[in-house]
Structure formats: structure tokens, C-alpha cells
Amino acid sequence: MIDRVELQQMRYVLAVAEERNFTRAAQRCFVVQSALSHQIKALEQELGLVLFARTSRRVELTPAGEAFLPSARACLEAAERAVNDAAASTGRLRGTLTIGVIPTVTAIDLPASIGEFHRSHPEVRIMLRTGGSHEFIAAIADGGLDVAVLGLPESTSVQGMQTRTLARQNLVAVVSATHRLAHRRRVQLVDLTQETFVDFPVGTPGRAPSDHAFQALGLSREVAFEATNTELILDLVRHDLAVALLAPDVVPADGRLRTIDVADGPVRIEYLAWSGFNPAPAAQAFLEQIRLPAAPE
């Protein structure tokens, strides 16, 4: 049976492995570096293995350390889950809730939902991760993420997890107020083929709906600028350097911008996703509390 000291030693090993630095790992664990180093050395002596290769400037896992890490992480997670489950049985939630957030969440007021949850369950540590939908799908499957908001093309189905459709959005063309199409209320994709585009990086879920829509019609376009956040995309549009295809809710009221409906344009689906396999009590409580829009008809 694993005792408290051994659990602490594994926490230290995990911290050093992730930080690649003993000083930062000690700061993260709120201990002095000498104590952390002593405990790791004691664990290595007990195991008869060297877990880290160390120099004055570099720290790396040895092959033995690489082999040790997954089971150590699973052991720590199981111990934390046991404590949290016991606390949850009394109505008291603890532990960590990890939420993945794409840059273009529009269907729910996520900060408000997180704030309400935090006020109801102050002992739960909430961690936010920003990134892309494909990354979050893999993280949920691996158990590294509790809940995520995803934005995916209409043609993409999400497998292996629980999902709730939050919104189905037709992307709009966004142009500057001085653009030649700024007076139009509606266009077709063929009307945009001669334009210079700004979009999310190729291969990302944010880019995929637009790429798929053009390809489906046998059309091509020039994407001269790639950006990972909508504010930079909109700034390029404001300066009339490019046009964009975005969800209408991410485009602010701005006299320098115009939005135009696209009759045969791309469709984006926004989902809330989580693991259906034994979700943690904190994740279950968040899913019950989060304010979702009515399910689409």
C-alpha cells in the first residue's frame, strides 16, 4: 500500500518532469529545493533506479523515469479522485476542474458559468486551457481534460465522448467599411474567390469549415494571412488587407467593419464536450450548473 510520503515523492517527480527544473518544481510544490531533491533521491535509492539525468543546467528523464511517470501520474490521480469522491458524498466538492476553451466561444457565457460554479464550490480548483478543438478531443479521451467547448465543421462528427450541440452558425463574410462589397447584404462564395483572405492556420478546426465550403463547390481562394486569434484577424480586415469568414457573434459593432451573409457559405457547429466514462464529481456538478441554450429543434 502506498503511504503519504510515497505519494509526496511521486508528486515531486511529476513536478520535476513537467518543469524540467528542480527550482521551479520546488516552487510549484511550495517546498525548498533541498527537501524536494532529498525526497526524489530517497525514492531513487528505494527503487534502485535513476529517474533523472542531471547537470547544472539541464534535467531530463532517464528511460527508467519515462517508464515510471505514467503509473505515478495514474496513482496520484486515483488518490486525488478517492479523496474527492469521499468529499462529494457529503456534498462537499474538491479537486480540479479542467476546462478547454477555443478562441471563438459564442454560444454560452462561459465566464459567468465559471463564476457561478466557483461561488458554489470554492474548494474546486478551476483550470482553463486555451487551444484547438482537435487538441481538446484528444485530451478528453486521454483523461487530461474534464470539459471543453469545441467548434467544428458541420461535416465533422465527434465520437467517443458525450456532447451537447450549443449552436449551429452560418459564417459571415467580414470586410472593411471601404471594401468594394461593403454595401452588399448577401453574396455567394464565388463572389469572394478573387479576394485575399485572413483565416486561422491551415488544418485547424477554425479554418476547416471555410476550406470545406470552397472545396465542395470546386472553388479556390488565396489565404495570405493566418492568425490564431480573432482580434488580429479583425484588425487585418479593418485595414482592408483581407476579408474573413467568421461566426457573426465574434464580430463587434464597429463602424470600420461590415458583415455580409453568404448564401452558400460555411457552417460551424459549437459543442460542449465531456467524457462519458466516470466523470469526476466536479465535472458532473459543472455540467449540471452550466447555463446551456435550449437544444436545437
pLDDT digits (tens), the chain, 297 positions:
455 677 788 888 888 888 888 988 888 888 899 999 999 999 899 889 899 988 777 888 899 988 988 888 777 666 666 665 655 555 667 778 889 988 777 778 888 888 988 888 888 888 888 888 888 998 888 878 899 999 888 878 788 888 888 888 899 999 999 999 999 999 999 999 999 999 999 988 889 999 999 999 999 999 999 998 899 999 999 999 999 999 998 899 999 999 999 999 999 888 889 987 777 788 888 888 876 555 444
Which DSSP state fits 91?
Answer: T
Q: What is the CATH number of the domain that holds 8?
A: 1.10.10.10
- Which pLDDT score, from 0 to 100, does residue 187 have? 97
Same domain, 141 and 276: yes
Same domain, 123 and 141: yes
Same domain, 277 and 140: yes
Same domain, 195 and 126: no
- Which pLDDT score, from 0 to 100, does residue 297 have? 44
Residue 202 lies in a domain: yes
Which DSSP state fits 48?
Answer: T
Alpha-helix runs per DSSP H in 60-129? 63-88, 110-120
- Which pLDDT score, from 0 to 100, does residue 205 have? 84
Residue 249 lies in a domain: yes
What are φ and ψ of residue 36, in 5° steps?
A: -65, -45
Q: What is the CATH number of the domain that holds 260?
A: 3.40.190.10
- Which pLDDT score, from 0 to 100, does residue 198 have? 98
Integer Cα distance of 262 and 245 in angstroms = 9
Q: Which of 88, 105, 120 is the last residue of a domain?
A: 88
Nearest to 242 by CA among 152, 170, 151, 181: 181
Q: Is the pTM of this model over 0.95?
A: no
Please measure the distance between the N-terminal and C-terminal CA atoms of the chain and give it in whole angstroms: 53
Whether the CB-CB separation of 247 and 269 falls below 8 Å is answered with: no
Give 82: exposed, middle or buried? Use CB within 10 Å, 0-12, 13-18, 19+: exposed
Integer Cα distance of 292 and 296 in angstroms = 11
Whether the CB-CB separation of 10 and 72 falls below 8 Å is answered with: yes
Residue 252 lies in a domain: yes
Residue 294 lies in a domain: no
What are φ and ψ of residue 221, in 5° steps?
A: -150, 165
Residue 295 lies in a domain: no
Residue 42 lies in a domain: yes
Same domain, 140 and 261: no
Integer Cα distance of 281 and 85 in angstroms = 7
Whether the CB-CB separation of 223 and 206 falls below 8 Å is answered with: no
Same domain, 106 and 63: no
Residue 297 lies in a domain: no
Residue 215 lies in a domain: yes
Overall number of domains in the chain: 3
> What's the domain range around 221?
172-265
Same domain, 218 and 186: yes
- Which pLDDT score, from 0 to 100, does residue 182 have? 96
Residues 6 or more apart whose CB falls under 8 angstroms from that of 148 comprise 99, 100, 101, 102, 133, 136, 137, 139, 140, 272, 273, 274
- Which pLDDT score, from 0 to 100, does residue 295 have? 46
Same domain, 154 and 280: yes
Whether the CB-CB separation of 239 and 188 falls below 8 Å is answered with: no
